A and B are shown apart, each in its own frame.
Chain A
Amino acid sequence: MQGDSQALLSVRNLRIEFPTRRGTLVAVDDISFDISPGEILGVVGESGAGKSLTGAAIIGLLEPPGRIAQGEIILEGERIDNLPYEAIRRIRGRRIGAIFQDPLTSLNPLYSVSRQLTETIQTHLPMNDKQARDRALELLDEVGIPGAEERIDHYPHQFSGGMRQRVVIALALCAEPRLIIADEPTTALDVSIQAQIISLLKRLCKDHGTAVMLVTHDMGVIAEAADRVAVMYSGRIAEIGPVQEVVRAAKHPYTHGLMGSIPHIGHHVDQLTQIEGSMPRLQEIPPGCPFNPRCEDVTDRCRVERPNLQPAEHSEVACHLFDGQTAEVQVNE
């Protein structure tokens, strides 16, 4: 499953720290995953789980004092986490595109859409003004903006939320990147628009063979769009595997609780499954398994020993409950 040769992006033992006056906070703690070309990897978790930070680290947009303390990020066989600023700036946009949550803040309100698009295109590709404009039109067409010819000279405020998000996607696609980091791309949108944006992302991913890291807190979006999903909790990956398996037969007690706490249309329950308590703050992450204070199946071992990701069926789970199964399921390694 983890053939490094074919992975487009490999994240190895990534650790992100925030040095503060009261000690170092570890926001992302030793996580590893791969994304293959053309694959959509969903990353879910609640606020503060470290999912957005992981995305930011990959595109080199970690805000100081946050820093990568350990680990490697490898894009197409090349290590990119230790590159100087100028070099990562060239990769960002050219080889890795980004889509953020709020389309209004990711567009410059003072520039017309055509100017923002052509500027980005010309930064990354050797094109003259005419070629860049043609390319911009092509992109707007591709992301499904009707009447691109007229709308290209409009300003961001003249577009609706869904159309703005399409413009942002067009911007991310300018240089045909191999990987797109999409951080909550549909969270600010209504369900009907969300559906449109998801199907657009899926189509683009298929047509161009672009890999997508889809960061979201919405399990529904993941189920709809992702091929594989990583569930994060307190800066660690609790479970990673094919989306069908994680959604339908969650293994980690946290994923299981999370799935039960989502109301389903068609299944009437009186009370939703409730995970007691809340995710610990960064300075209060307990030793052992970070989920142990809220876990129903907790044992003494969970309080002292940190579980590592281990294979269980087609997924990998970081939970001591699945220790026994390593012998039976010898799929990997």
Chain B
Amino acid sequence: MNSTAHNDAEPLVSVDGLVRHFDVSAPFLNRLFERLDRSYVKAVDGIDFEIGRGETFSLVGESGCGKSTVARLIVGLYQPSAGSIRYEGVEIGPVEAAADRKRMQPHMQMIFQDPYASLNPRWRVADIVAEPIRVRGLLQGKPEILSRVGDLLSQVGLSPADGDRYPHEFSGGQRQRISIARALAGEPEFLVCDEPTSALDVSVQAQILNLMKELQDRLGLTYLFISHDLAVVYHVSTKVGVMYLGRLVEWADTKTLFENPRHPYTRMLLDAIPDLEMSGRQRIPVAGEVPSPINPPSGCAFHPRCPHAEERCRTEAPEARVYDGVHVSCHAVADGRIG
């Protein structure tokens, strides 16, 4: 296993065989009369990974690959269908008891993609940022809370006076700063960021990414970062996992994954990125599209698009294997057919 620079060998978050299926069956009477079976979307279909303390673990993949579902499972917005999520070694997977969740939640917060939808338009910014403080009862008394809110707003590059304004008075980038301030208000150590910069312009994206990095260094935060933008992922992450149709096809530390991608899907994704350096280069055309997760292909879900697919890939789902710290699920890699 790839060793991290941290003393405590225990990962902060470890995910083991995580599964989440959504029931998308037709209504009961339709099923009865039209003789339909129940059908499920296998949004997350058995994934394992670990996030070390102070790391940034990124999940990349195309739309519908289940990356956001993983984020929501980890913060407890969804309950897993199977598998476990452990935080500091304590299971938070199928939490039935509200008490359990209450114990774990203070440690984690989430930042969402759309800064327009994730802030209540009828609340003042100060109330938005103060909400986690009030809910957790971290501070008592109005003046203390207000001064903490002012403090948080300055930390994210806004002015304490902005607390009196409403979200509509801010630009997209500033709203995302407010979301970050709100997330920090709960004093988390683990932040789940679901496409935090996808709705922003590039120059604003740079500001937010720089801010997130600075906060990580200062507060020792651990991030789970969800994105479809490989360049952003390369910039922020220490480790990267590539998802395809609910499975993690490859995960490794960032440098290894980008320099020496092993799984054919990772290679294909890297090849598809527009390259600023080689302007005008002919790309290798990518074949096909992501199939529906309702009826994913048998065996390895990537086989219909894979140039290295053979009979075994069509029937047997590949197990994850570790090669020099790189976790890859691919028969072709296992058989040594590709590098």
Binding site for B on A (CB under 8 A): 46-47, 160-163, 190-196, 198-199, 217-221, 223-224, 243-244, 247-248, 257-266, 268-275, 278-279
Contacts and interface: CB of A to CB of B under 8 A. Distances in A.
Nearest to B157: A276
A219 B289 contact: no
Interface string B175-207: 000000000000000000000000001111111
A217 B201 contact: yes
B201 A224 contact: no
A198 B286 contact: no
Interface stretch (B132-140, B266-274, B308-316, B330-338): B266-274
Interface residues of B, number: 41
A47 B269 contact: no
Interface string B256-287: 00100000000011111111110111010110
A244 B273 CA distance: 17
Contacts of A274: 203, 206-207, 210
Contacts of A257: 203
A257 B210 CA distance: 14
Contact of B268 (A192, A194, A224): A192
Given A190-B228, A274-B207, A258 B273 contact: no
Q: Which 5 A-B pairs have the closest CB atoms?
A: A220-B274, A261-B206, A263-B235, A46-B201, A190-B62
A278 B173 contact: yes
Nearest to A244: B279
A272 B228 contact: no
Contacts of B205: 261
Contacts of B228: 190-191
Q: Looking at B203, B231, B270, B285, which has the most chain A CB atoms within 10 Å of its CB?
A: B203
B41 interface: no
A192 B276 contact: no
B63 interface: yes
Given A190-B228, A223-B276, A262 B202 contact: yes
B306 interface: no
B294 interface: no
Q: Looking at A161, A195, A268, which has the most chain B CB atoms within 10 Å of its CB?
A: A195
A1 B169 CA distance: 44
Contacts of A217: 201-202
